[in-house]
Amino acid sequence: MIENEVAVLDYGSQYSQLIVRRVRELGFASHLYPPSELARLEKPGAVILSGGPRSTSEVDAPDVDFEKLMSLGVPVLGVCYGMQLLNIKHGGSVRPGVTREYGPARLVVRQAARLFEGISHESRIWMSHSDTVADLPEGTEVIATNEDAVPVALRFGESCWGIQFHPEVTHSHEGKEILNNFLTRSGATLAPFDIQAFKARMLDEIRDQVGSREVVCGVSGGVDSTVLAVLLHRAGVQVRCIYIDTGLMRKGETAEVVEQFAEVGVPIEVVDASEAFLSALKGVTDPEAKRRIIGDLFVDQFWGVAADVQLLAQGTLYPDVIESASSGSIASKIKTHHNRVDRILELQRQGKVLEPLAELFKDEVRALGESLGIPHRALWRHPFPGPGLAVRVPGEITPERLETTREADAIFIHELRRTGWYDRVWQAYAALLPVKTVGVKGDERSYEAAVSLRAVISEDAMTADWVELPPDLLRSVSNKILNSVNGVNRVLYDISTKPPASIEWE
């Protein structure tokens, strides 16, 4: 761990990662740890106990080494489950609530000192809990309640607080300010999080770890692999970047990726494997079968040209590390998605896998990319799925159906860029539906394909909402597709949220 960082103990909340992210956004170093690792933490600057789905009344409820926690002598904040746990450890009790509180509520500040300094007397917050504190420990102060006068914020001592709501989510209107008060007004000595300092440290560590060995790096043109490749190149190590063209790319994508890497001065090797992929996918319509074929063949193609790997670089990000750690080893996680990773697993066992971005979130990777001089259009390029257009062409993959999809997609993306909407959308694309519809072209009836447009906003792809694009923009896109893309006579706009729908079609 980094000395004086903010240690966040993970009790299973869906928002645990978000606490770390918010702390870093406020300028302080932070990492997520399982509660069992508290004993190994030597010099944190502060500790935050996250929320969680369990009840403190359960026999095997997640616990905390309270003696160790208090011996650290640093400010402590309990969030939701963390507050209930601290209340019990200080000598209070928790009881089941009459009803589960989930969603918006009103925070009523009773005592503004430190934690709520500068916060509105009444503020909107976000709740997610079923239990609530009952008996309060002796000397505990209620510093805020909800509109029904139920305690939602407690002060247990000079530098120990508990809050029943989630300050890390945007639904809590002044949540970030409350977190900032805890970090800056609690007397904590905290290590700063600075992307420039991170870059300098990573460049030194890469040089030390790599030495004179060659690093092989798979690149796609996406933000993670681009930043990874440029970081390795700037470190001055010998790096070999390999790009596999599966034939499932967007219009002009391979040429665009080559140009993008040339602009930042990083040479890449392009492997045209389109014929192999299209041949393997012929006649296949099952979505999972398509993904499996693409995944297996991609690995075969990659290792076919990267025969003698001394070091393999991967663009693993911090959320991937956290998810793997909380659900088992990274090896078992990979195996559930792919059955041909023996080579990677062996390299991991040999300590030959390099993951320089493993401490960063996506927005931090973009900030690192900016500091490396990577162009904006590369850093804010819309996400593109690993299986490529295969997940946007439900049904059989054929060259003709791929070409139709590429043309429609290119028109949609061009219009988004032209009107300034591209950077306001997290992801957008055109999909070709596996149906034909009746239409009229000229004086004759047509029986042709339907295209579905999709544009969503999201932070992490776990949830997504559709974007209310201007009707004039949608009209322009539809007209251009219908007038210039052969074989299409209908254009639809997808207004499904995730959940229940997914972002991609397959």
Q: Are 320 and 355 contacting, i.e. CB atoms less than 8 angstroms apart?
A: no
Whether 80 is a known active-site residue: answer: yes
Greatest CA span in the chain, whole angstroms? Answer: 85
Give the model's pLDDT for residue 400: 97
Task: Give residue-wise pLDDT tens across range 389-425.
Answer: 999 999 999 999 999 999 999 999 999 999 999 999 9
Domains and CATH numbers, the chain: 6-185 (3.40.50.880), 195-379 (3.40.50.620), 398-493 (3.30.300.10)
Whole-model pTM above 0.85? no
Task: Give residue-wise pLDDT tens across range 265-278.
Answer: 999 999 999 999 99
Give the ranges where 186-222 is alpha helix by DSSP (H): 195-210
Strands 444-457 and 427-441, by their bridges, are: antiparallel
Whether 160 is a known active-site residue: answer: no
Residue 217 has pLDDT above 50, yes or no: yes
Q: How far apart are CA 243 and CA 432, in angstroms?
A: 26
Give the model's pLDDT for residue 440: 82
Give the model's pLDDT for residue 330: 26
Residue 263 has pLDDT above 60, yes or no: yes
Whether 166 is a known active-site residue: answer: yes
Give the model's pLDDT for residue 127: 84
Closest-CA residue to 240 (of 218, 264, 271): 218
Which among 80, 160, 217, 241 is annotated as catalytic?
80
Give the model's pLDDT for residue 99: 54
Please give the structure tokens belonging to residue 446: 């047509």
Task: Give residue-wise pLDDT tens across range 298-319.
Answer: 989 998 998 788 899 998 887 7
Phi, psi of 120 (to 5 degrees): -60, 150
Q: Kindly indicate the confidence band of residue 481, based on its pLDDT and cuts at 50, 70 and 90.
A: very high
Residue 241 has pLDDT above 70, yes or no: yes
Q: Kindly indicate the confidence band of residue 346, based on its pLDDT and cuts at 50, 70 and 90.
A: confident
Residue 2 has pLDDT above 90, yes or no: no
Q: Are 193 and 27 contacting, i.e. CB atoms less than 8 angstroms apart?
A: yes
Please give the structure tokens belonging to residue 1: 């761990």
Give the model's pLDDT for residue 335: 29
Q: How far apart are CA 341 and CA 338, in angstroms?
A: 7
Give the model's pLDDT for residue 329: 27
> What would the mean pLDDT of 76-85 be, rounded to a whole number?
95
Mean pLDDT of the chain: 90
Residue 141 has pLDDT above 90, yes or no: yes
Give the model's pLDDT for residue 336: 30
Which among 166, 174, 233, 359 is annotated as catalytic?
166
Give the model's pLDDT for residue 53: 86
> What would the mean pLDDT of 480-496 be, rounded to a whole number?
96
Give the model's pLDDT for residue 416: 98
Residue 328 has pLDDT above 50, yes or no: no
Which among 90, 101, 129, 168 is annotated as catalytic?
168
**Pairwise pLDDT comparison (404 vs 42), residue with the higher score:** 404
Give the model's pLDDT for residue 327: 37
- Laid out side by side, the sheet with 268-272 consists of 268-272, 238-245, 214-218, 311-313, 353-354
